[in-house]
């Protein structure tokens, strides 16, 4: 298996995709051609603007919530920076 930045995450994704493929009964519409190999998987969690907005602006509040959400996802997956 390809060993990139997060081998444990790739292993989890590999187990997940294997489980999808081996589902009984088969998942309708699931074809091997749409399953991305773990080393090629790209997740976009969000886009954050790095502007100097006021900390009380709605955009700053949204950015704070997004950062907290991303941190929670990373903790749940045990992914480090």
- 1 near 69, Cβ under 8 Å? no
Poorest-pLDDT segment among 15-29, 32-46, 50-64: 50-64
Please check the confidence at residue 15 and state whether its pLDDT lies above 50: yes
Per-residue pLDDT of 41-74, as tens digits, reads 777 777 776 666 555 566 667 777 778 877 877 7
Domain that holds residue 74: 43-81
Instruction: Indicate whether 65 and 54 sit together in one domain.
Output: yes
Record the pTM: 0.46
Which of 34, 41, 33, 32 is closest to 12 using CA atoms?
41
* Pair 58, 73 in one domain: yes
| Cα–Cα distance for residue pair 15/18, rounded to 1 Å | 5
């Amino acid at each position: 298996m390809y060993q990139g930045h997060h081998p444990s995450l790739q292993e989890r994704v590999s187990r997940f995709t294997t489980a999808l493929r081996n589902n009984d009964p088969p998942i309708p519409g699931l074809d091997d051609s749409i399953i991305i190999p773990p080393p090629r998987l790209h997740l976009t969690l969000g886009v954050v603007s790095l502007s100097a907005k006021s900390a009380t602006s709605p955009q700053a509040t949204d950015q704070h919530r997004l950062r907290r959400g991303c941190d929670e996802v990373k903790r749940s997956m045990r992914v480090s920076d």
